[in-house]
Structure 1
Amino acid sequence: MELLDDDTVAMFAEGRGDIDRLRRVLAELPEVFDFSLSGDDTGFFSYTRYAADDLTRLLMEDRRESSYLMDMPIEHTDDGGLRVTYIGTEAAFADALSEQPDDIRIEIERTGSYTPGPRHVVSQLTERQREVLKTAVDLGYYQEPRKTTHDEIAMATELSETTVGEHLRKIEAAVFSSLHVGAAKR
């Protein structure tokens, strides 16, 4: 995304879903000046140039004046929010968080060192989730027939059985939601 001098935003995005519906929506929106889509429902790229609203302008201008970076992609969450990865120092984040408008709610999911890597679902898991996943795989949890239990994974990771179960459900939800599976044909 980039705020242009003519007060429009140019955005390049990757997505999946109903590309024909997206094409219709973009064509009908008066604030969209130009767009291009390529791909299909299983995965597509889009370029869109649209009028900047006040919030977008504020966030984009703030990004220009700050000492932190936004890592792409910016993800849309199921609850209508955005998930953004910011890269920078603690001081830069303190400044950024103190300057946000009152009508923007920010939730920090995690902090730590940044290691760029492939956009693989495993890179989106927390460190603890990756540890539980590695242990589960090593102990044969995903083999057929299953070679281990939540209790054995809990003992190996020094977590409770309930916590292991919660981590495995979150891991599985992340993996399955990341798959580019087309709609079932009837």
Structure 2
Amino acid sequence: MALNVKRPERLVDVCLDGTLLAEWEATDKEYIAARKEQKMRRDVRMNDPLTRRVEDLREKARELSVKARAETVTFRLRALPRSVWDGLVTKHPARSKERDGGFPFNMATITDAAMSAEGTIVAVEHPDGTEEPFTHEDWATFAEDLSSAQHEDFYVAVIGLNAGANEVPFLPESAPTTDSDKS
């Protein structure tokens, strides 16, 4: 038999400069306030300082979005072979059904164990397509600097790949895939 299995893969994006979110939120807050003030005025002219401020804030938000995308790397993760995953489950048993949501493994430790196993991290790419030299051996140091929210993105991917439902992620041929397909 000549069937070859390619284990499923998922992508996880991480913005390496988390301060950009706060800058964007502050800019957005100022923008909303300026737009509100602008809408309350009856006579808005093109050379009005408030109009210029709204345009400047909109442009600053765009620049921050571009900067955030440039500071984002994408991890390509692959499911582990079943025997490797089962070994990790054995080494990281559930603490209790309540704490680990009924899973047969310790939810707090299995992600880092899987990410540190050879084969989970396929590649790490920058937005320009260049690959970052990063292996499973680099994970522990990198993970120390992640916030809980950032780490959860990896948790969801790892659990989904290794213990989740395997669905074929394709639409039927008859299903529209873009707005232009709709009649």
- When the two structures are superposed, what TM-score results if normalisation uses the length of structure 2? 0.20
Higher relative contact order (Cα pairs below 8 Å, separated by 6+ residues): 2
Q: Which has the higher strand share?
A: 1
Q: Which has the higher helix share?
A: 2
